[in-house]
Chain A
Amino acid sequence: MEVTSAIKGEKIYKKFKKFELNIPELKIPQGYATALIGENGAGKTTLLNILSGIRMDYKGNLLYFDKYTDKDREFNPEVKDKIGYTGPGKYYLPQWTIGDVEQISKLLFPSFSSEKFNQLCTELALSINGENRKKKNSNLSDGNKMKLMLSGVFARDTDILLLDEPASPLDPLMRDKLCQMISEYIEEGNGQKSVFFSTHNISDMENITDYAIIMEHGTVVEEGFVEDLKEKYILVKGEREDADKAKDILYTVSTNSYGFEGVCLAEDLDKLAGMDVVEETPSLYQISVAVMKKNTKLVMR
């Protein structure tokens, strides 16, 4: 299947004192929701900051919508306006009220729609019928701060949304609503609109994730369409006595008194021959944890 890229990156490199982001190749497919998964400090926020233009001190080439470079992103207002971003909780100044955010967004983003913003504020129970419009950002809870950021970015006419941990501060109901908002956004784009979001809440976001990129230690260790990944990896369950033998083949193994469970590459299934195992399709969460465990520096017991 030929898939065009919303963002294509080559040799993206950024060095900090004790951390190095080094991604030889990056492709974010156009028209899909792509999840960026990785443990703390893997480089997810740095990558999102580079893609959104918040960080400019990197090396490498970026191509947006198959025709615009990162220079175009900074110097062509049309390109910049097509990229929406929400960051961590301190994105807006603390003293700005909901009303201020609307006014300032109107000033900064030509495609910002006040009507849509107010509608989203109402839908997300942030400001119903103009209530709470004078409430300061600093007085909002973390979840409401995120809702405000989401209202701001979804009220614009963008072609790609870069969302840094949008689900983390949200309650389960709101996470479901976020999934719905992302689905609708992609649907209304007819294959032109894409969403790239980092998340630790893989299970909650799995139903809208089309493509996944897993990062560890500043580089991409696994990526692909979720359906392909589910074919590439397999979940196996077996007898407890086989657990030790299976450990060498499986990415992850968890054992209990009844048996073991783990994820391995589908191509390694032959190596489990002779063991009494049951195969199942793993969830994205199970694949992600397995890949992360394989590459982590954490001591796992």
Chain B
Amino acid sequence: MKKFRNYFTLFNTTYIVVANIFIPVGFAVASLLLSFVFESTPSFIICYFIYMVVDGMTDYFSLGNIYQKNNMGMDYLKTSFEGMVVMKDALHVDYFTRFIRPAVFMLLAYDLHFIYLQKDTILNQLLVPWIGTKNILLIVFELYLVFVFMQILLINIDRYISMAQTVYTLNSFVTLGFDALIVLLFMWQGSDINTPALIAVIVATVALLVVEAIISILHMNKKLQMSFYDEVEKED
């Protein structure tokens, strides 16, 4: 609970509400509305891609390039005994939210389609009209894992570099490029892959994601530590 308290205090409230609730829910609803209006539109995929870029961009409004050594705001934290602990706690919870909010988007987008459309073509509309419906849940889950993987990768790049919001946006698009390739490959070939093979892919992705998350958190802790306690220069 202390970690969450630190997260809610240190992170801007507007950011918390907008990034964790408004944006994922908004895009899920938008996905549904799009499929109402344009029945054959791959609304889910369009919204998935745009949401991914927006999610990457919003990180700028959280703590920006906070890990960078001697970054602004760190001075304030460094002058407090609890500063580093509070910061670590908040960032750990922030990592946690990276898993939760795309899940909210995926589940909501999927359920809204299922509940409100109630058509035979629902799963096709959920994804893209030209793919099959076999293994659709597994494919959606795999897409979720890829999403989280890419977003964590993105913040690992963005937060260590001093840059403006435009570069954050650019980075989001670059990451989206890689993501799009993987997603489209799954959308195209996913239904042709047999279920055990798809499950194996998912297990591999989960393993990769766990490794990535652990490395990210350890790296973040180290960077944060270094930012607080600069190494004493060696004797010349």
Question: With A95-B15, A104-B9 as given contacts, are A55 and B72 in contact (CB-CB < 8 Å)?
Answer: no
CA distance A198 to B59 in the complex (A): 36
The answer to whether B76 and A59 have CB atoms under 8 Å apart is: no
| A56 contacts B228, C-beta separation under 8 Å | yes
Pair A108/B82 contact, Cβ less than 8 Å: yes
CB nearest neighbor in A for B235: A59
Is A87 a contact of B229 with CB atoms below 8 Å?
Answer: no
Chain A residues with CB under 8 Å of B10's CB are: 104, 107
Size of the B side of the interface (Cβ < 8 Å), in residues, is 27
List 24 A-B residue pairs with CB atoms under 8 Å apart, sorted by A's residue number: A14-B233, A49-B75, A54-B78, A54-B79, A56-B228, A56-B229, A56-B230, A56-B232, A57-B230, A59-B233, A76-B81, A80-B79, A81-B80, A87-B76, A90-B75, A91-B72, A91-B76, A93-B72, A93-B73, A94-B72, A107-B9, A107-B86, A108-B76, A108-B77
Asked if A19 is at the interface of the complex by the 8 Å CB criterion, the answer is no
**What CA separation (Å) do A109 and B77 show in the bound complex?**
10
A52 neighbours in B (Cβ, 8 Å): 78-79
Cα(A76)–Cα(B230), bound, Å:
19
Give A60-77 interface residues, CB cut-off 8 Å to B: 74, 76-77
Give complex CA distance A300, B228 in Å: 40
B177 at the interface (CB under 8 A from A): no
The A74-122 residues at the B interface (CB cut-off 8 A) are 74, 76-77, 80-81, 83-85, 87, 90-96, 100, 103-104, 107-109
- Whether A77 contacts B233 by the Cβ 8 Å rule is no
Once the chains bind, are A107 and B82 in contact (CB under 8 Å)?
yes
The answer to whether B231 and A57 have CB atoms under 8 Å apart is: yes
What distance in Å separates the Cβ of B40 from its nearest Cβ neighbour in chain A? 42
Could you tell me if A57 and B82 are in contact, using CB atoms closer than 8 angstroms? Answer: no
Closest to A101 in B: B76
**What number of A residues sit within 8 Å (CB to CB) of B?**
33
- Interchain CB contact under 8 A, B80 and A57: no
The answer, yes or no, to whether A294 is at the interface (CB within 8 Å) is: no
Known: A15-B233, A95-B15. 19 other contacts (CB 8 A): A49-B75, A52-B78, A52-B79, A56-B229, A57-B232, A59-B232, A74-B81, A77-B81, A80-B79, A80-B81, A81-B81, A91-B75, A92-B76, A94-B72, A95-B61, A103-B9, A107-B5, A107-B10, A108-B82
Task: List residues of chain B with CB within 8 A of the CB of A15.
Answer: 233
Is residue B63 within 8 Å, beta carbon to beta carbon, of the partner chain? yes
Q: Which residues of A contact B (CB under 8 A)?
A: 14-15, 49, 52-59, 74, 76-77, 80-81, 83-85, 87, 90-96, 100, 103-104, 107-109
Task: Convert B63-74 into 0s and 1s, putting 1 for each residue whose CB lies closer than 8 angstroms to a CB of A.
Answer: 100000000110
Question: In whole angstroms, what is the CA distance A100 to B80 when docked?
Answer: 16
Closest A residue to B62 by beta carbon equals A95
- B230, A108: Cβ atoms under 8 Å? no
| Residues of A contacting B81 in the complex (Cβ-Cβ under 8 angstroms) | 74, 76-77, 80-81
Closest to B232 in A: A57
> Which residue on B lies nearest to A13, using beta carbons?
B233
Interface centre among A90, A91, A95, A100 (most CB of B within 10 A): A95
B63: chain A residues at CB < 8 Å are 93
CB–CB B12/A100 < 8 A: yes
Given known pairs A56-B232, A57-B233, A58-B232, the reply for A83 and B79 (CB within 8 Å) is: yes
Q: Is the CB of A109 within 8 A of B80?
A: yes
A41 to B15, CA, bound (A): 38
Give the distance in Å from the alpha carbon of A109 to the alpha carbon of B80 in the complex: 6
A165 to chain B, nearest CB (A): 13
List the A side residues contacting B83 at CB < 8 Å: 108
Inter-subunit contact B15/A108 (CB<8 Å): no
B86-A108 in contact (CB<8A): yes
A57→B232 CA distance, assembly (Å): 4
